[in-house]
Amino acid sequence: MKLKNNRATKVLGFLRNWRMQIFSSCIYIVGAAILLVLAKQNLGRSLFIFFILTAWLINVFRSKTLLFANVLLIIAVFPFNITIQLSEYFLGFELANFQVAGVRIDSLIPVISILDLAFGITVTSFFVEHNPIFQLKKLLKSKWLWVGIMTYYIAHNLYFLDWLVFVNSSRMLLVAVLGYLAAVNWEYFRHTFTAKRVGYVRLLIVMNIFVQLLISISQFVYGRSVGLHWLGESSLVKGFYGTSWMTLGGRVYLRAYGSFPHPNVLGGFLSLTLIYALSASWVRLRQRSKRGFIIHLLTSGLLTLNILLTFSRTAISIAAVIWGLFIIGTVFDIRKIIRVYKAKRLEKRVKKRSTKKVSSIFGLSLIFERFKQLLTAEKVSWTDRVKLAKTAMIIILEYPLFGVGTGKFIQYIGKNVAVTSGGHYLFEPVHNIFLLLLAEHGVIFGGMMVLTILGLLVGTLRKTFDLIYEKPVLVFCQICIAIWFLLISNVDHYLLTLPQGIAMLGVFVLFEAAFLRIRPRI
């Protein structure tokens, strides 16, 4: 019986490896052929993507698992704003209208990001690496949820019949499917990611941080883009309209973009990574690993420096709160560790001593002149955000049932377009994802999405009180992510409008859902 089971296991393993090798080879060949055609437009970008694709194929063959290779692929391409714009016409039919009030708006042009392709490969890989029927059964465990989602997705696209709506809604659906598959295959994640592989993931994240820091410093010092357009860097010149810059002390400074489409998006990514880095530092502290604690703390310092270069008020505020919570939490934890350590020594020596511990006072003095001026500068954009919020309310009242369609907020501004104090039109989505959901999806369906997100957030925050003594690091991470989400979601829109933002929103929802499943010890 054991012999038959071993044979069956070997056969299944052979078939699994065969499917993975065929799938990865086909992706590589098709990708290389497409890049060969696109090389005429941008040779550097094509070579970079070809290098990433080759590294992915090598990882698949060496690790014999698509999951590990795909995670590395997503992390590798995440910071780079590499996109392909789609045409507004197909076979003579107009698929989208890119103009508002006679002005061509680039954000209305549907784009496919390299991150979208990485997500698509990862979702498909779940069905290739495992039994497809088994994966479908996992999806059907929540069949009514997916029936509702797919019904709304199809109805939403049929109602608007718009190229932009289709691309943006498909991106959101893709991230939702990926997050669900990751959740139901969590045990396979734990089995696949050994300590060595987790080390590779951390190394790649640190490399991304260094690359973004170097690009950010160069942009800040020189006041322009550094020529890495093949990595997705925007064309930047300080002081020009369309570029984000600050006037501090009578001098003009370019805000750091990195290779992201906007400094705020870079700040959101860095602040989210800072939560992970400081959480890892705290874990190393509890494990009494000085080397690991110092490495993660230095990484956190580099992240904070890069956040400061973005001049993003939201990201800097998040970083200040995270550091404050980290210092308070670790001070109390250190005192607890010291008490436990002393109690063990007393047990060994069998002596009773009365000891007094004078707690260390940690001071954090961040007197940063540029940050002060950010709060008092004349270019504060709160008035613009309020104007956009008023426009959103008008759109919600005009289209309360079905909304205006995913990604089409700007197109429906029309006569209600807001104007800045400098006389420029505000062709931007409302800087609040809750209002944006209501405006683009209607009061019923958009309201359901808003209530789902807020219900998930409230549920996890209530659970933190049950775990605060048992799992302090996890509670710290949860509180920081909640603060991160609440601040960004109420003052910006990229969590719903950009591929990197949608991915970060997916990480937030996945973490919140996983946190809800934790059961405290009784």
The per-residue pLDDT for range 459-468, each reduced to its tens digit, is: 888 877 777 7
> Which has more confidence, 372 or 220?
220
Contact partners, residue 170, CB within 8 Å, separation at least 6: none
Could you please report the per-residue DSSP string of 442-493?
Answer: HHHHHHHHHHHHHHHHHHHHHHHHHHTTT-HHHHHHHHHHHHHHHHHHHH--
pLDDT at res. 138? 75
Q: What percent of the chain has pLDDT over 90?
A: 33
Residue 358: pLDDT over 90: no
pLDDT at res. 254? 87
SS3 of 88, please? coil
Residue 318: pLDDT over 90: yes
Token readout for 423 is 């006389």
SS3 of 419, please? strand
Q: Given the structure tokens 């859902």, which residue do they identify?
A: 513
pTM: 0.85
149, 94 Cβ separation under 8 angstroms:
no
pLDDT digits (tens, 9 = 90+) for 386-427: 888 888 898 899 888 888 989 888 888 866 676 666 666 777
Distance between CA atoms of 355 and 389, rounded to whole angstroms? Answer: 59
Distance between CA atoms of 47 and 54, rounded to whole angstroms? Answer: 10
Taking alpha carbons only, the member of 452, 422, 423 closest to residue 437 is 452
pLDDT at res. 420? 65
pLDDT at res. 213? 93
Residue 341: pLDDT over 80: no
Distance between CA atoms of 482 and 462, rounded to whole angstroms? Answer: 12
> How confident is residue 359, by pLDDT bands cut at 50, 70 and 90?
very low
pLDDT at res. 345? 52
Q: Given the structure tokens 């109420």, which residue do they identify?
A: 490
pLDDT at res. 381? 64
Residue 257: pLDDT over 60: yes
Cβ neighbours, 10 Å, residue 442: 20
Token readout for 117 is 């392709």
> Which has more confidence, 417 or 97?
417
Contact partners, residue 504, CB within 8 Å, separation at least 6: 268, 269, 272, 495
Residue 287: pLDDT over 70: yes
Long-range contacts of 361-369 (CB under 8 A, 24+ apart): 362/327, 362/331, 364/323, 364/324, 364/327, 366/320, 368/308, 369/248, 369/249
pLDDT at res. 171? 93
According to DSSP, the residues that pair with 90 across neighbouring strands are 93
pLDDT at res. 55? 94
